[in-house]
Amino acid sequence: MYQMGIEIGGTKLQLAVGQAGETSFLEIVRHDVDRSLGAPSILSVLEVEVPRLCQQYQISGVGVGFGGPVWSDQGVVQTSHQVRGWDHFPLGNWLHERSRCPVILANDCDTAGLAEARFGAGMGKSSMFYITVGTGIGGGLILNGRIHGTSRPAAAEIGHLRPGLDACSPSQTIEALAAGPAISEFTARQLLVLTETETLSSDAREILDSCEGDLDRLTTRLLGIHAGNGNSIALRAFAEAAHALGWGIAQMITLIAPERVVIGGGVSLTKPHVFLEPLTKFTETYVFGQLKDSYDIVPAALGETVVLHGALALAQNA
């Protein structure tokens, strides 16, 4: 018997068939998501692919990592912040009707954390906190190989910590300071100030030339390349993000005391001196002293299929 894992995100939809813990899949299907078409477009693909895969393979269970908050114990999507049409959708029952298999639904970051804890960078640790740093910042707490907080409306949402007593608005978060868009926006503000007040440095010109002077085309991935090559402006932008997130990680460690913190997502793919090393330094600055040598911070190991590996692990227990 095999399991089916499904990842539903804001930019991609992936399905895989395999067995939890195996390094490869029997089959993997990927579709790009057109956000403008909403949830019905994603469901139309699942309507075709889920029965087909169930007919082709002996499927014992289905696991789903969904890109947004869910009620896991009910199998219901709360909402999606990226794709319209998911509000209060009973995705678990919908998939059960089409697969005739038990279905387990979880948030995609929790699902990725489960995969890293069981098969990746968190193996061998009884407590692990997973953080994805990309377009947004999400978290997942894995204790003894299980996702913590599945019966709660939300859990481990480190990106939504409010940094400081003056952060009274829901928009004033770690995510707003440290996710990919924040890094791009910080750099753009630096460049605007430089162009208005002084002669551009070679580092400023390098970044402006790479986006042809259009700051709207300035991506975090592009800045990561510049920072990796030693560009001082790009390095400062990543350091600012690492400072904010490092503060947040320190608060989390002080409260939860996990043995390992695993960092995934696109921002984590930069060279270690760009993000991971300053992140570790800032975490040490703010963490409770008694815990300073009790944890480590490491990069994720499973790459872009991490949610699928976690979804198969969910399906194994369906």
- Are both 209 and 113 inside the same structural domain? no
Q: Closest Cα partner for 28 from 66, 10, 2?
A: 2
- Are both 14 and 77 inside the same structural domain? yes
pLDDT of res. 82 = 87
- Are both 172 and 268 inside the same structural domain? yes
Number of domains into which the chain is organized: 2
Could you tell me the CATH number of the domain that includes residue 17? 3.30.420.40
Q: Is residue 59 part of a domain?
A: yes
Q: Is residue 69 part of a domain?
A: yes
- Are both 283 and 309 inside the same structural domain? no
- Are both 281 and 310 inside the same structural domain? no
pLDDT of res. 248 = 98
Q: Residue 63 in contact with residue 6, Cβ under 8 Å?
A: yes
Q: Closest Cα partner for 65 from 36, 30, 103, 23?
A: 103
Q: Closest Cα partner for 120 from 304, 318, 300?
A: 300
pLDDT of res. 90 = 98
- Are both 71 and 35 inside the same structural domain? yes
- Listed in sequence order, the residues at least 6 apart from 33 whose beta carbon sits closer than 8 Å to its beta carbon are 9, 10, 11, 12, 13, 41, 42, 83
Domain interval for residue 88: 2-120+303-316
- Are both 197 and 281 inside the same structural domain? yes
- Are both 167 and 279 inside the same structural domain? yes
Q: Is residue 140 part of a domain?
A: no
What per-residue string of b and e applies to 88-127 under the rule 16 or more CB within 10 Å gives b?
ebebbebbbebbebbbbbbbbbbbbbbbbbbbbbbeebeb
pLDDT of res. 197 = 72
Give residue 260's Cα distance to chain centre.
17
Q: What is the pTM of this model?
A: 0.91
Q: Residue 50 in contact with residue 3, Cβ under 8 Å?
A: no
Longest dimension (CA), the chain: 66
Q: Is residue 138 part of a domain?
A: no
- Please state, in angstroms and as integers, the Cα–Cα distance from residue 4 to each residue in 7, 18, 39, 74, following that order: 10, 7, 20, 19
Residues of the chain with pLDDT under 70: 198
Q: Is residue 75 part of a domain?
A: yes
Q: Closest Cα partner for 104 from 295, 317, 282, 259?
A: 317
Q: Is residue 130 part of a domain?
A: no
- Are both 169 and 248 inside the same structural domain? yes
Q: Is residue 139 part of a domain?
A: no
Q: Is residue 233 part of a domain?
A: yes
